[in-house]
Chains A and B, each alone.
Chain A
């Protein structure tokens, strides 16, 4: 039976379960240590939650194909953006269900465009940043369930981050957020509506300059077809702190942002059918992004973009757009 993914702002029960599940995964030892992932320094236990941080950083390091000039990688900057994140979210949701002992739990989404429609100065006071939800901003974040408490080892901590070269590093500090520093405001409903009108999932040159649905929601181009930081990227950059880095899954809001992006993709497919491009006729310069290429994931080589187009057995959204 498919689980239902709901809006975190209007479903306090799901919200509380999400927070609880994140904490449980953060405190669950994965059985692996940092040295096994090539992280320098003393070997330290890696939590199940932090495996998702390592996965994200690793996926971004895998250039698809190696040394492509568009800097496409196995998770971003190309057609694979939506399928790769769909797989990551499904694996995360499975783990939340496991630790919550609730097979009916569906990952919530954050409909950030609702907050983006507020005047910019009010956006950081939206319900999502309340002490009963994700907490607020700061270095470190000092309110909410993921607040840092120096004397409390069980409080939420960032343990694996990246350095300025993008390499994994061990750290031991609180979560960081700085709203509106590198970008003024969140994306608005009009941006979402305009993106959903684009007829092509993706298009040549399959990069950060393509005027396609994928590139628009990933957020390399604005509604006027001009290079800009928008949609998904803008959400990362507006939140700032952890969310700026390759290790952005350190902030539990990462998954809520990507769940909303996945909902936009599902909304687009409900209009345009379960179609994906490029197909296997595309050249080797798009290897890793074609419909039957394996996705970089623990699901094996048979998990491909084609396999992610119909997930009706696994989950659905309470509301599409």
Chain B
């Protein structure tokens, strides 16, 4: 790369002009923010076409969370709002969401039917132990 191309393009004005254009093009998280996320995995095996559609429906304290979770070909769970993380279990991903977005989980009265007070009491989280990661190629239920 030539220095000149870099020095011209690095001006804050150039960056912000680029960003306003790029944001117009970025999809507004189709199918993500609307309260669900879908992953489609396709494979063929012995002449059969396999298609697995996974939708996560996640409740925390009775409230639906709008996190874009997906599962990749090797069964690893990924979440667009925690982009550098993958887990073998969606449960671990939701725990990380609670750590990463504390204000989104501030206690509000659950909108679902009233339950015995005990079940709403905050329990200490079980000790975090990293689970063995899924073997490549293995298929897990999530």
Q: A-side interface residues toward B, CB under 8 Å? A: 28, 30-32, 36-38, 46, 48, 51-52, 54-55, 58-63, 66-67, 69-71, 76, 90-91, 94-95, 98, 139, 162-167, 178, 181-184, 205, 207-209, 219-222, 225-229, 232-233, 236-237, 240-241, 243-246, 248, 296-300, 302-303, 307-308, 310-311, 313-314
Contact = CB atoms under 8 A, between A and B. Distances in A.
A70 B20 contact: no
Contacts of B100: 240-241, 244-245
B16 A32 contact: yes
A30 B5 CA distance: 21
Contacts of A38: 23
A208 B99 contact: no
Nearest to A178: B99
Nearest to A312: B1
29 contacts: A30-B15, A60-B83, A61-B27, A61-B29, A62-B25, A69-B39, A69-B72, A71-B70, A90-B1, A90-B10, A98-B10, A163-B101, A164-B65, A181-B99, A182-B99, A183-B130, A208-B72, A209-B73, A222-B133, A227-B88, A227-B133, A236-B85, A244-B99, A248-B83, A296-B22, A300-B5, A302-B5, A303-B9, A310-B1
B68 A165 contact: yes
B95 to A, nearest CB: 8
A222 B27 CA distance: 32
A246 B19 contact: no
B136 A226 contact: yes
Interface string B86-114: 10100000001101111010000000000
Contact of A30 (B16, B70, B83, B134): B16
Nearest to A63: B27
Chain B CB within 10 A, most for which of A32, A178, A236, A241: A32
B84 A233 contact: yes
A236 B84 contact: yes
Contacts of B73: 69-70, 205, 207, 209
Nearest to A308: B1
Given A208-B76, A245-B100, A298-B17, A66 B29 contact: no
Interface string B34-78: 000001111000000000000000000000011110101111101
Size category of the binding interface on chain B: 35 or more
A317 to B, nearest CB: 16
B66 A94 contact: no
A160 B22 CA distance: 17
Contacts of B27: 61-63, 66
A38 B29 CA distance: 13
Nearest to A38: B23
Contact of B72 (A207, A222, A307): A207
Given A71-B78, A208-B86, A164 B16 contact: no
B54 to A, nearest CB: 11
B19 A209 contact: no
Given A69-B73, A164-B67, A37 B20 contact: yes
B20 A299 contact: no
Contacts of A46: 16
A165 B67 contact: yes
B2 interface: yes
Nearest to B96: A182
A56 B86 CA distance: 19
A253 B32 CA distance: 29
B6 A209 contact: no
Contacts of B14: 298
B106 to A, nearest CB: 12
Nearest to A70: B72
B19 A37 contact: yes
Nearest to A222: B133
Contact of A244 (B15, B22, B76, B85): B85
A222 B86 CA distance: 12
A167 to B, nearest CB: 7
Q: Which of B29, B42, B100, B135 has the most CB of A within 10 A?
A: B100
